[in-house]
Structure 1
Amino acid sequence: MATGVFSYLLFEPLDPKELSLLKDLTTAEICKVWKATSNYVRRELLEKRAVDIGIGSFAVVPAHAAAGEDGVLDVDRPVFQLNRHIQQFYKLKEPKIKIPYEIFEYPLDFQEIAESIYFRLPIVEQCIHETLLFFAETLRGKKEVDFFFSKLGILSLRGQKVIMNFFDDCVLQVDATGNMLPALLGVSLHASRAPCSTLK
């Protein structure tokens, strides 16, 4: 089974035969695999490890957040970045915040994910691969889609933009600086100011 990033560069519409396993699994089973995958990614982010899921990577990167009228806070924020080959192939806009090159991106541990839900390893690996193939087809067709990651957030495709909106509890939990909550609330650490919160 070819699961490298180049297998997600689709020159032609996806052949339904390439999604044979997804047709055999129930919706509940597919969701169970992806919930376990999302939980795995979140655990890795809490350990400050970047994870390559096949079409792109999740990581925690240093960033600046505006807080209050003039304040700027250093924070750790989760990000998702599409693989550069996929981004260029489908002519998608570059993300504003990028994962630094020096951050090593670990591949998914399919064995750990499979064991957590008592599924056979080939089932988990194929399910993830076929789902990502389906996502690649939405990129090829420039369709609007929302990809839900349990306990992480929602990956949305809108035109030429791929946007990952992380859930607040995930954003707060992966931040080791303690500054994220004041940043989200738009207040200074030293004084109470008017709300005006933006992450840069």
Structure 2
Amino acid sequence: MNKYLLLNPLEPEKLSTLKELRTIEICQVWFSVSMYIRRQLLQKKVVDIGVGTFAVVPASAIVGEDKVLPVERPVFELCRPLKKFYKLKCAKTKIPDKTLSAPLDFQEIAADIHFRWEIVEQCVHETLLFFAGALLDNKEVEFFFQGIGILAVRRKMVRMTFFADCLLELDATGNMQTALLEDSKMRRIVAFPGKSKFARISQEGVITLPRFALEIPDEDPALSISLKPRRELAPWGGGARRVSVLDPVFLAQKRVSMSKQMEKKGMQDNSKQAGQGR
């Protein structure tokens, strides 16, 4: 945890892997991370991502004439040291102390996208470092977890909201749909980008992760400023050689598959030529 408690502004050399990766590759990594977290939550497992913990906890909703419905809902609990160090405020969500949490399984996450697991681990770590740097600089942030929800930071207030389909899928009681329709408090946990008062951004804009973009108020989203660290140019003016992101075993299997396809195509072409020569 201490690695995300920054005393000084983040140094560019700390983000060496992000410099080498394209934005689409960074988003691929975090898409796989998000899908991994959702799979674990479906199994009622608790996942520690380094700056906080995802879990599914029992809750209750008030519907009709004070009728109480039990539900199961996902929560995100920011790490206490991070919350205290950056003086952040969070909604009260409590994961039972006796609950065992597990860190991200980078090998499983990497396997889903055929990336080297070392690249995935470093990409996640450096993205979280960038997030910590934004907290240090008092920036407003929206961290998107595809298929799960949005972790937003506004003026030292941290709030995690979840997409409706995620809430419905993770609830094993079958009561979530009714709860979202009839309990106004439950509706507050649903992610509606740009729709709620909390979603308003400052004049300086909001940093969106994992795209590493700065969205400016009243500007065309297509004109957002890229914040992704850039790699240095080589002395001769060309771009520095990019790091290999794909798993070498996957590459070898792909080469074998392509070789077999070309061999099969060659045999088919030779057969056609032999037939035409008769």
Q: TM-score, normalised by structure 2?
A: 0.66
Larger radius of gyration: 2
For the pair 1:197 / 2:184, whether they are aligned, the reply is yes
Question: Equivalences for 1:12-23 in 2 at 5 Å?
Answer: 12-23=8-19
Report the 3-state secondary structure (helix = DSSP H, G, I; strand = E; otherwise coil) of the residue aligned with 2:89. Answer: coil
For the pair 1:83 / 2:79, whether they are aligned, the reply is yes
CA drift at 1:160: 1.6
Report the 3-state secondary structure (helix = DSSP H, G, I; strand = E; otherwise coil) of the residue aligned with 1:88. Answer: helix
**Equivalent position of 1:163 in the other structure:** 159
Report the 3-state secondary structure (helix = DSSP H, G, I; strand = E; otherwise coil) of the residue aligned with 1:91. Answer: coil
For the pair 1:27 / 2:23, whether they are aligned, the reply is yes
Aligned pair partner of 1:97 in 77, 93, 96: 93
CA drift at 1:69: 3.4
Which segments of structure 1 move beyond 6 Å, counting only runs of 4 or more?
none
Q: State the distance in 2 between where 1:50 and 1:111 align.
A: 18
Counterpart of 2:96 in structure 1: which amino acid?
A: P
**Are the equivalent residues in 1 in contact too, given 2:17–2:126 (CA < 8 A)?**
yes
Structure 2 unaligned spans of 5+: 189-278
Q: State the distance in 2 between where 1:38 and 1:76 align.
A: 19
Counterpart of 1:171 in structure 2: which amino acid?
A: L
**Equivalent position of 2:205 in the other structure:** none
For the pair 1:74 / 2:54, whether they are aligned, the reply is no
Report the 3-state secondary structure (helix = DSSP H, G, I; strand = E; otherwise coil) of the residue aligned with 1:10. Answer: coil
For the pair 1:147 / 2:140, whether they are aligned, the reply is no
Query: How many equivalent pairs are there?
Result: 187
**Are the equivalent residues in 2 in contact too, given 1:183–1:198 (CA < 8 A)?**
no
**Equivalent position of 1:191 in the other structure:** none
**Are the equivalent residues in 2 in contact too, given 1:67–1:197 (CA < 8 A)?**
no
Superposed CA offset, 1:96-135 (max 9, x none): 1111112111110000001110000110000000000000
Report the 3-state secondary structure (helix = DSSP H, G, I; strand = E; otherwise coil) of the residue aligned with 1:184. Answer: helix
Structure 1 unaligned spans of 5+: 187-195
Q: State the distance in 2 between where 1:198 and 1:65 align.
A: 8
Aligned pair partner of 1:116 in 95, 112, 119: 112
Superposed CA offset, 1:29-61 (max 9, x none): 000000000000000000000100001010001
**Equivalent position of 2:41 in the other structure:** 45
Counterpart of 1:77 in structure 2: which amino acid?
A: R
Q: TM-score, normalised by structure 1?
A: 0.90
